[in-house]
Amino acid sequence: MSKETKNKTKRASSLSLPVVNPDAAGIDVSATMHMVAVPAGRDTGQVKQFGAFTEDLHAIARWLQTCNVSTVAMESTGVYWKQLYLVLMEYGFKVSLVNARHVKNVTGRKTDMDDAQWIQKLHSCGLLNSCFLPDDMTESLRSLVRHRKSLLEDSSKYVLRMQKSLELMNIKVQGVLSDVMGKTGSAIIKAIIDGHREPEYFLQFVDARVKADRATIVKSLTGNWRDDQLFLLEENYALYQLLKQRVDNCDRKIESFLQLQAAPNIDGIIEVAEPATKKKKKSKNEPSFDVSSYLLRIHQVDVTSIYGISNATALQILSETGPDLSKWETDKHFISWLNLCPNNKITGGKLISSSVMKKKAGNATQAFRSAANTIQKSDHWLGDYFRRMKSKGGNKYAIIATARKLAIIYYNMVRFKKDFEPLNTEEYREKYKTAKIAYLEKQLLKLKAVG
């Protein structure tokens, strides 16, 4: 071997990364097949292809055991990883589900075999961190809450179609009612479907809380009764009612899981909470049962006392994060996972970018953003903070900044079992005013020094 070749080999060995996980495997996941890579020398081939059927998943686990693998990393591709993850966990492997952004291969020809080997190499060097994965109870609750959300979104589409049919018949009821599917609107639509056409007949269904006068209501219900639109109105109303029944059925299933989740905190006694009263029910889309009582038993603190956090919002956050927030070391890790903090990029000692990472907001992030959006006109310190951030960077900037505040409050309450202690509004405003004056005085001194 020449001297130059020896030097190249020496440099290559000195630049190689240390192996942290010598018994690590990497799996490239897809819908129809899985490519599995193991350390060199464990079998005749370092990479092996398997199918995606259940027997193939068990074959993967048995082959990894034969190769003396103890830890496995795989990319979170759609939902195709879930069953393989469960099978590998059953066999006792330590499984790391990694972000697809973190396992991108170097430039060159891309193949499934190369991807699997790249994942295995990165994992063996300890360069991959596992994503957050909920426990079985939280995973089940998450599926149900997401399904409930989808049902509500689908039902809103049928409401829009009913409004379109009414508009095409020149029935302007949505112009005098704030909610077409409220108590008054539902009764009027049901009467139309039953065959009533006289505008004065519908006055008996008008609730006392409707602000429009009777003459305006009669005018709004005078139109052109088209047979085709009446048929579509009846069809969409029936489908809307069907989805409402499915939502109620889903609520009962969610309540049963909340009972199981709350049981360990009440000595294993499963109690059925009393139904929520109408005064406590803030939104028609909230679950039909008393969510706050279950949340109090699970968290041991009242998270709905946080400004903007309703029962439905708190339930959505619980289903996404679970009751144990110790999986995030600090509140900074929590808001980073939620993508509610700047993605600072520094080069040459200078900050070149501090915008939030551009990616689709998860359900937990959407819940905090929605809560932040509801308090922008509130008369408390968080409402003041929202308006101040809005004047600084616009509405979207204010929503993200306020959602970050809410997430930090939520984390500290749930993690450390602390009750929500809101700041005094007057003291908060006075503190901000004092800080603003000090800042302006400092700027004035700088201008005088320049002058």
Identify whether the C-beta of residue 287 lies closer than 8 Å to the C-beta of residue 251.
yes
Question: 33-37 and 24-29: which strand pairing?
Answer: antiparallel
> pLDDT (tens digit, 0 to 9) for every residue of the chain, 451 residues total?
555 555 545 444 444 678 889 999 999 998 899 999 999 888 888 999 999 999 999 999 999 999 999 999 998 878 888 899 999 999 999 999 887 777 776 666 678 888 898 899 999 998 888 888 888 899 999 999 999 999 999 999 999 999 999 999 999 988 888 888 989 999 999 999 999 999 899 999 988 888 888 899 999 999 899 999 999 999 999 999 999 999 999 999 999 999 998 887 655 554 544 444 434 445 778 898 999 999 999 999 999 999 999 999 999 999 999 999 999 999 999 999 999 988 777 777 777 777 777 777 889 999 999 999 999 989 999 999 999 999 988 999 999 999 999 999 999 999 999 999 998 888 888 988 999 999 999 999 988 888 6
So what's the pLDDT on residue 105? 60
Beta bridge partners of 74: 27, 97
Long-range contacts of 382-389 (CB under 8 A, 24+ apart): 382/307, 382/308, 382/406, 382/422, 383/307, 384/425, 384/428, 384/429, 384/432, 388/432
pTM of the model as a whole: 0.83
Q: Single out the residue of 386, 396, 376 nearest to residue 428, CA to CA.
A: 386
Give the integer Cα–Cα distance in Å for 262 and 300.
10
Give the integer Cα–Cα distance in Å for 15 and 125.
13
So what's the pLDDT on residue 267? 53
What residue ranges do the domains of the chain occupy? Answer: 18-124, 425-451
Give the integer Cα–Cα distance in Å for 171 and 185.
12
- 41-58 in b/e form (b: 16+ CB < 10 A) is ebeeebbbebebeeeebe
Superfamily per CATH, domain 18-124? Ribonuclease H-like superfamily/Ribonuclease H (3.30.420.10)
